[in-house]
């Protein structure tokens, strides 16, 4: 008898993304690994067929129920796609219905693009690492130890990996969602949905040493640099200080480090440090302190539990649950449009230091993490470090790289040497 | 390799500086590495949206065909089909035409909608041999069109002052109702009963309140404090 197809409900964070997706925008992000040699697509296809069975909640498609969306595991691996001139090409609902992730090969690079309802950055990285491990094993016959995120790829997925950890870790008291709006960048949009990618490569140890001088972690320090760049950009666009808006950065927080758990589904929340530029000029040191204290007070089990409780309470509301999906979609989209992205200028997501077993590292040149742009704001930024290089990927859907220029200028003033690359040639 | 304009270090893949778009100039450097993304390879525009637009056209064509044959079958002449066709065309322009565009701009589509409605009314006026278009329907359509299009344009392009726009629009709608009653009385020789004074008063008060809220920050804060959800 044929085994029934495995399905899971969307986790609490994933529920908003299908409703928020539109005709030109979907919340998709990319993780990629660049190998030392050209990718053999035949071997990759074979590796992918092993991996889709191992990760049924990630190798999935988005289906509609009467009241909620749900994820259904794909039985066969999707076709490996070719790279276009820009990453994160719009993923339509039709495409998500067939498969909500893509595997893309270009020269030495294997990239996977995930619809955000499937997983978060941490889960995606586990998926990518295991895909690479399986590929390397099949291609070169190397035995890769099960460490640093590499799992037993022939085992069945365990329940902990498929768990919705939001429900388990919700606190007892919800917090208010009221928050101030942030400054929004604008610019002349690129035609036909083209996305500009600019990657800054920095020495990870150099950046970390500098961060330590400011008594900050790398995330805090780079957030401060980004906020300083945003302040300078707003100064240029709106010289009248009194009319300036708040600079706010959305920094995702991996809740596994707080609550534990091995889930491969979404389990991240965020913190939003902010600066009011009307109050005067800020030094990097001051901004580092602001970010550090904000993160210190909010990234705690108690606070995050309360934030989760707010979201989970909505999901548990019996009246909301029985509302049919099309009506839910209209309401959720309206809420997302009016509130969702107005509370921050952009997202700066740091996956952290990517490590792989030693035997794998000699086959891998670099990893990259690229966020899609926001629905109504032109920028987003993803970063990670691999080896001694910090890769900071800016994505934007407007023509002028204004923020990148200011970001570079701030780094230059701090004495950080930067190398940039882009997909500008593809335009 | 460094950009000669902004000074940033460039990867060997870059033919132009990603930060200032300056072409790379180096007399001894001619061999670039392969670009990190393929050049000039763009996805085809989604066939899905075109399929939907085609399906919507079919949806509009079915009643057109049915009405045409029903009208013709009666006496072999076209009697009332023109009205149906006009209504369906107006419906298509209002609801289906924006589907062809990825980001339909309401500032362009709203005047088109009113122009279509005005033409349809003109057709009915001639087809029925009436005389109510000039002096009544045309003026009212133009007045409503100007109010609606102005409000849409201001709301679409202005980032501030929405309360002023909504308040002003409410007042203008009150004026439109008064105009409707006046033109009805003049064109059709019915008495001016003054019913439009009531909505005019309410809309003026509402508009005035919204404009006051737009001016007074303190009043806005009080309203927000009392009525937040």
pLDDT tens digits for range B163-216: 999 999 999 999 999 999 999 999 888 888 999 999 999 999 999 999 999 999
Q: A345 by DSSP, 3-state: which? A: coil
Nearest CA of chain B to the CA of A22: how many Å?
10
Confidence of residue B228 (pLDDT cuts 50, 70, 90): low
Q: What pLDDT score does A315 carry?
A: 84
Out of B17, B20, B35, closest to residue A426 by CB: B35
Q: From the CA atom positions of chain A, what is the Rg in Å?
A: 21
Residues of chain A with pLDDT under 50: none
Q: What pLDDT score does A234 carry?
A: 96
What are the pLDDT digits (tens) for B135-175? 899 999 999 999 999 999 999 888 788 899 999 999 999 99
Nearest CA of chain B to the CA of A153: how many Å?
30
Q: What pLDDT score does A5 carry?
A: 64
CA distances from B7 to A20, B1, B15 (A): 41, 9, 15
Same domain, residue pair B21 and B64: no
Residue of B nearest to A94 (CA): B48
- How many CA atoms, within 13 angstroms, populate the side-chain half-sphere of residue A296? 8
In this model, does residue B49 exceed pLDDT 70? no
CB A106 within 8 A of CB A85: no
Nearest CA of chain A to the CA of B14: how many Å?
6
Q: What pLDDT score does A3 carry?
A: 58
Same domain, residue pair B24 and B59: no
Q: State how far the Cα of B149 lies from the Cα of A265, in Å rounded to an integer.
A: 47
B75 interfacial to chain A (CB closer than 8 Å):
no
Q: What pLDDT score does B74 carry?
A: 80
Q: State how far the Cα of A247 lies from the Cα of A376, in Å rounded to an integer.
A: 16
Task: Look at residue B77 and tell me if it is in a domain.
Answer: yes
Task: Look at residue B34 and tell me if it is in a domain.
Answer: yes
Task: Look at residue B141 and tell me if it is in a domain.
Answer: no
Kind of pairing between the strands at A268-271 and A109-115: unpaired
Closest CA to A123 of A161, A153, A158: A161
Q: In chain B, pLDDT over 90 holds for what percent of residues?
A: 52
What are the pLDDT digits (tens) for A140-155? 999 999 999 999 999 9
Mean pLDDT (chain B, rounded): 89
Q: What pLDDT score does B48 carry?
A: 61
Q: Which of A18-22, A376-380, B95-99, B101-105 comes out lowest in average pLDDT?
A: B101-105
B41 interfacial to chain A (CB closer than 8 Å):
yes
Q: What pLDDT score does A4 carry?
A: 58
Confidence of residue B112 (pLDDT cuts 50, 70, 90): very high
Domain A7-153 part of CATH 3.30.559.10: yes
Q: State how far the Cα of B157 lies from the Cα of B153, in Å rounded to an integer.
A: 6
| Sign of the alpha-carbon dihedral angle for A318, A319, A324, A327 | negative
Degrees to nearest 5, angle at CA A374 with A373 and A377: 100
CB pairs under 8 A between A and B: 99
Confidence of residue B52 (pLDDT cuts 50, 70, 90): confident
The total of structural domains in chain B comes to 2
Same domain, residue pair B58 and B98: yes
Out of B14, B20, B45, closest to residue A421 by CB: B14
Interface with B, mutate which of A85, A87, A395, A398 (most B CBs under 10 A):
A85
Q: Which residues of B touch A89 (CB under 8 A)?
A: 43
Confidence of residue B45 (pLDDT cuts 50, 70, 90): low
CB B132 within 8 A of CB B125: yes
Out of B18, B20, B46, closest to residue A92 by CB: B46
Q: Give the residue, A385 or B1, on which the prediction is more confident.
A: A385
| Sign of the alpha-carbon dihedral angle for B46, B50, B53, B59 | negative
Which residues constitute the domain of residue B5? 1-38
Q: State how far the Cα of B171 lies from the Cα of B209, in Å rounded to an integer.
A: 11
Task: Tell me which CATH code domain A191-426 carries.
Answer: 3.30.559.30
Q: Which residues of B touch A94 (CB under 8 A)?
A: 48
Nearest CA of chain A to the CA of B120: how many Å?
31
What are the pLDDT digits (tens) for B60-93? 889 999 999 998 888 888 888 999 999 999 999 9
Q: What pLDDT score does A177 carry?
A: 79
B36 interfacial to chain A (CB closer than 8 Å):
yes
A141 C-beta neighbours (distance < 10 Å), count: 7
Q: What pLDDT score does A314 carry?
A: 84
Q: State how far the Cα of A396 lies from the Cα of A88, in Å rounded to an integer.
A: 11
Same domain, residue pair B58 and B30: no
User: Helix, strand, coil: what percent of chain B each, to 5?
Assistant: 65, 0, 30
Q: Please indicate whether, in this complex, the C-beta atoms of A419 and B9 are within 8 angstroms of each other.
A: yes
Phi, psi values for residue A409, rounded to 5°:
-65, -40
Q: What pLDDT score does A182 carry?
A: 94
Paired tokens of B63: 């009643």
Task: Cite the residue boundaries of each domain of chain A with CATH code 3.30.559.10.
Answer: 7-153
Contacts of A303 (CB under 8 A, 6+ apart): A175, A297
Put simply, whether the predicted model's pTM sits higher than 0.90 gets the answer no
Q: Which residues of A touch B35 (CB under 8 A)?
A: 423, 425-426
Task: Cite the residue boundaries of each domain of chain A with CATH code 3.30.559.30.
Answer: 191-426
**Residue A348 host element (H or E):** strand A346-353
Q: Which residues of B touch A82 (CB under 8 A)?
A: 38, 41
């Amino acid at each position: 008898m044929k085994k029934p197809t495995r399905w899971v409900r969307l986790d609490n964070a994933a529920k908003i993304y299908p409703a928020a997706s539109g005709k030109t925008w979907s919340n998709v992000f990319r993780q990629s690994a660049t190998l030392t040699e050209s990718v053999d697509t035949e071997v990759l296809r074979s590796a992918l067929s092993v991996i889709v069975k191992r990760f049924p909640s990630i190798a999935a498609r988005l289906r509609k129920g009467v009241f909620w969306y749900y994820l259904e595991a794909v039985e066969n691996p999707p076709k490996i796609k070719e790279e276009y001139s820009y990453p994160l090409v719009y993923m339509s609902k039709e495409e998500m219905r067939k498969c909500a992730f893509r595997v893309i090969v270009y020269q030495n690079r294997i990239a996977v693009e995930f619809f955000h309802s499937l997983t978060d950055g941490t889960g995606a990285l586990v998926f990518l690492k295991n895909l690479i491990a399986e590929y390397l094993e099949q291609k070169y016959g190397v035995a890769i130890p099960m460490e640093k995120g590499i799992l037993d790829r022939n085992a069945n997925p365990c329940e902990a990996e498929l768990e919705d950890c939001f429900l388990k870790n919700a606190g007892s008291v919800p917090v208010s969602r009221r928050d101030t709006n942030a400054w929004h960048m604008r610019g002349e949009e690129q035609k036909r949905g083209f996305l500009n990618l600019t990657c800054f490569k920095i020495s990870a140890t150099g950046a970390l040493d500098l961060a330590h001088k400011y008594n900050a972690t790398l995330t805090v320090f780079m957030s401060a640099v980004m906020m300083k760049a945003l302040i300078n950009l707003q100064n240029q666009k709106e010289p009248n200080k009194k009319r300036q808006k708040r600079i706010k950065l959305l920094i995702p927080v991996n809740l596994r480090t707080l609550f534990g758990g091995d889930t491969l589904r979404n389990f991240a929340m965020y913190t939003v440090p902010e600066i009011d530029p009307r109050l005067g000029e800020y030094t990097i040191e001051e901004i580092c302190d602001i970010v550090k204290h904000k993160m210190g007070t909010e990234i705690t089990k108690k606070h995050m539990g309360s934030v989760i409780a707010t979201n989970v309470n909505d999901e548990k509301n019996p009246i909301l649950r029985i509302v049919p999906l099309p009506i839910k979609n209209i309401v959720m989209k309206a809420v997302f449009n009016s509130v969702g992205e107005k509370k921050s200028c952009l997202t700066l997501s740091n996956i952290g230091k990517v490590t792989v077993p030693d035997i794998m590292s000699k086959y891998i040149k670099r990893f990259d993490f690229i966020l899609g742009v926001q629905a109504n704001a032109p920028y987003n930024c993803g970063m990670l470090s691999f080896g001694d290089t910090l890769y900071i990927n800016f994505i934007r859907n407007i023509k002028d790289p204004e923020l990148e220029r200011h970001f570079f200028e701030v780094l230059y003033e701090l004495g950080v040497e930067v190398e940039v690359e882009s997909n500008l040639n593809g335009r | 390799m460094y950009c000669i304009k902004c000074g940033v270090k460039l990867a060997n893949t870059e033919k132009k500086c990603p930060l200032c778009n300056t072409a790379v100039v180096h007399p001894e450097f001619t061999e670039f590495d392969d670009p990190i993304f393929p050049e000039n390879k763009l996805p085809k525009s989604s066939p899905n949206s075109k399929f939907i637009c085609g399906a919507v056209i079919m949806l509009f064509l079915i009643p057109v065909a049915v009405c045409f044959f029903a009208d013709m079958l009666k006496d072999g002449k076209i009697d009332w089909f023109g009205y149906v066709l006009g209504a369906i065309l107006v419906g298509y322009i209002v609801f289906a035409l924006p589907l062809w565009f990825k980001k339909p701009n309401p500032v362009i589509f709203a005047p088109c909608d009113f122009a279509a409605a005005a033409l349809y009314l003109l057709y009915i006026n001639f087809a029925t041999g009436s005389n109510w278009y000039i002096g009544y329907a045309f003026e009212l359509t133009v007045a409503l069109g100007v109010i609606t299009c102005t409000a849409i344009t201001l709301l679409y392009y202005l980032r501030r002052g929405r309360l002023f726009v909504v308040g002003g629009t409410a007042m203008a709608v009150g004026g439109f109702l008064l105009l409707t009653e006046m033109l009805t009385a003049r064109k059709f020789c019915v008495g001016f009963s003054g019913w439009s004074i009531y909505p005019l008063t309410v809309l003026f008060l509402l508009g005035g309140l919204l404009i006051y809220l737009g001016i007074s920050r303190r009043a806005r804060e009080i309203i927000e404090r009392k009525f937040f959800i």
